[in-house]
Structure 1
């Protein structure tokens, strides 16, 4: 019989926050921000105007987000944190004003399992993160959990199972990336990943964003501007590609792009 996730209390979150080391350079930047802020007056019940910075969506997570170009996104800010684990995102969120965001997309967990964290610890920390987000965000903010794409160094499916269970339990939206990064035979699409097998190429990042866009409209690009996964050209998809199958690159010998797009795939 499956047990329900443990009840979360604010004391658990506070204890997790207090025991969390600051992310490198984060505490310094936050202290500088605090010095530059003017004193704010008014009641805590004052109405929040979400559109004051025109960035109504926040995407926050690890360095897997590093290739995202915010110029391709609508009203979206991206917080990329190299090597970040769940506790690092907690440490960032605790000092960040997130009340203005209509949607917050959290993408974290891969580095935790890669660094040997137990599944129980991952669940406990992620649950504390969700509680913190809900307590600090506007009551109408949509908190969305992004699944962990496949990694070369570790099996991420146990982590994604935890995320699915948490989303079911707390009635949160879950973005499933699994189908995007596997072919019809169940193999990982290598051209979507850099040579380390962890971080996404520019094409992989676009596939990642296209999938998020199915849940939350963040892309400026129309479907006609997407990259074809058969040849790497823009303006059509694999269903209308004249090649009909993945082409081979003469430079790297990989499939799914032409030689002239090789740098785009592996950068």
Structure 2
């Protein structure tokens, strides 16, 4: 059975609270993409600590995937991505590299994936993000998947 829960725009602590109060037994996989606002506010370490707490709470119940952040024009997300990569190495969470799906070979951001603010993904960017995650763990039903799966 496919179960999806998204919490767009939520802060790390809100996601953590939701995951701890939800019935996690219904999930076999949880994909976490969080930390952009933390990067913008200059708190990559707090993103790391909250992601670590979330991972520790979930690790024995399901497979946890942590995504690196897409580039943003308002801040350098490099420090947060480094903390996410470090956390995956330390804990065994599965890393999904989203960052490199949003940059050209010369390291510049692929702007058509963003709204004019350079922060939020437009529909084309959201599609790219989902596609990137889907290459690591299937999250999109194929055309041949039964509605009851």
Counterpart in the other structure of 1:178? 99
SS of the equivalent of 1:220 reads coil
Tell me what 2:120 maps to: 199
Question: In structure 1, the residue corresponding to 2:132 is in which secondary structure?
Answer: helix
Partner-residue secondary structure (3-state), 1:188: coil
Distance 1:221 1:198 in 2: 30
Q: Which SS does the other structure have where 1:94 is aligned? A: helix
Residue in 1 that maps onto 2:147: none
**What's the Cα RMSD here?**
1.7
Q: Which structure is higher in helix share?
A: 2
Matches within 5 A, 1:156-171: 156-171=77-92
Match for 1:101 among 22, 27, 37? 27
Aligned to 1:220: 141
How far 1:199 moved relative to its partner?
Answer: 1.2
Structure 2, unaligned runs of 5 or more: 144-149
- Structure 1 CA distance for aligned equivalents of residues 111 and 69 of structure 2: 16
Correspondence for 2:4 among 65, 72, 77: 77
Structure 1 length as normaliser, TM-score? 0.50
The CA deviation string for residues 71-92 of structure 1, in whole angstroms up to 9 with x for no partner, is: xxxx24132232x221121121
The answer to whether residue 30 in structure 2 is matched with residue 120 in structure 1 is no
Q: Which residue of 2 aligns with 1:147?
A: 68
Match of 2:55 in 1: 130
Picking from 1, 12, 20, the partner of 1:86 is 12
Counterpart in the other structure of 2:37: 111
Taking the aligned partners of 1:116 and 1:184, their CA distance within structure 2 comes to 27
Report 1:24-103 matches (<5 A).
54=1, 75-82=2-9, 84-103=10-29
How much does 1:122 deviate?
2.6
Show CA shifts across 1:225-247 (max 9, x none): xxxxxxxxxxxxxxxxxxxxxxx
Contact 1:76 1:218 in 2 (8 A): no
Q: Distance in 2 between matches of 1:88 and 1:147?
A: 19
Q: Could you tell me the TM-score, scaled by structure 2's length? A: 0.87
Q: From the CA coordinates, give the structure whose radius of gyration is larger.
A: 1
Q: In structure 2, do the counterparts of structure 1 residues 205 and 81 end up closer, same or farther at CA, with 3 Å as the change threshold?
A: closer
Q: Which residue of 2 aligns with 1:265?
A: none
Q: For this pair of structures, how many residues does the alignment match?
A: 143
Q: 1:90 touches 1:132 (CA, 8 Å); kept in 2?
A: no
Distance of 2:119 and 2:108 partners within structure 1 = 15
